[in-house]
Each structure stands twice: as C-alpha cells, then as structure tokens.
C-alpha cells in the first residue's frame, strides 16, 4: 500500500458488482477545510469499517470531517449507467 493513500471499506454499492477491488485513483474533497487531493484507494480488511487517510493525505483531514470521495471512469455512450451514492454516518 502506498503511504499517501486512503483505505476504504468494500461495500456492495461500491465494489462493482462482485469484481475484485483494485487500487484506483480517487479524489477527496474535504467540506470542513476546503482541502482537495487526489490519491489512491485500497481495500480495507473486510468487516473493519475503516475509511482512513494515510501518509501526507492524513494532513488534509481530521477525524469527523465531512468529505466527498469520488471516483471517475469512462463508459460507452450506449451503456446504461446509474451513479452510486453511499452516505455514511459515523
């Protein structure tokens, strides 16, 4: 795992319908302090309920901050797609 990365819990709405969770670039927007960063997401241990910021990324947020975590991709214009939104309350 890259030291400036983030760790995310694998949840059914987020993991791509059964495919393995591969490290992927994500954008994190901190609504508390205005910080924005691009880093990589890695899968947390199943059942751990962890979302963490590691290394330099950890300096951009504190526990309890409200953040938006976004991942982007390309889809075929003929492909039907519905974005997935997951709201987590701590």
Q: What does each of the 90 residues of the chain score in pLDDT, given as a tens digit?
A: 555 556 665 544 444 444 556 777 889 999 999 999 998 888 777 777 778 888 888 889 998 899 998 888 888 889 888 888 878 775
- Compute CA 67 distance to the chain's CA centroid, rounded to the nearest angstrom: 10
CATH number of 6-13+20-70: 2.40.40.20
Torsion of CA 4, 5, 6, 10, to 10 degrees: -160
Phi, psi for residue 81 in degrees, rounded to 5: -140, 135
pTM score, two decimals?
0.72
Residue 39 CA to residue 30 CA, distance in Å, equals 13
| CB distance 7 to 41 below 8 Å | yes
């Amino acid at each position: 795992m890259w030291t400036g990365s983030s760790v995310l819990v694998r949840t059914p709405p987020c993991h791509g319908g059964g495919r393995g969770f591969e490290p992927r670039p994500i954008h994190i927007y901190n609504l508390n302090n205005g910080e924005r960063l691009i880093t990589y997401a890695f899968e947390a241990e199943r059942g751990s309920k962890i979302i963490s910021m590691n290394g330099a990324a950890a300096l951009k947020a504190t526990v309890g901050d409200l953040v938006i975590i976004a991942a982007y991709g390309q889809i075929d214009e003929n492909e039907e797609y519905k974005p997935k939104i997951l709201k987590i309350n701590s």
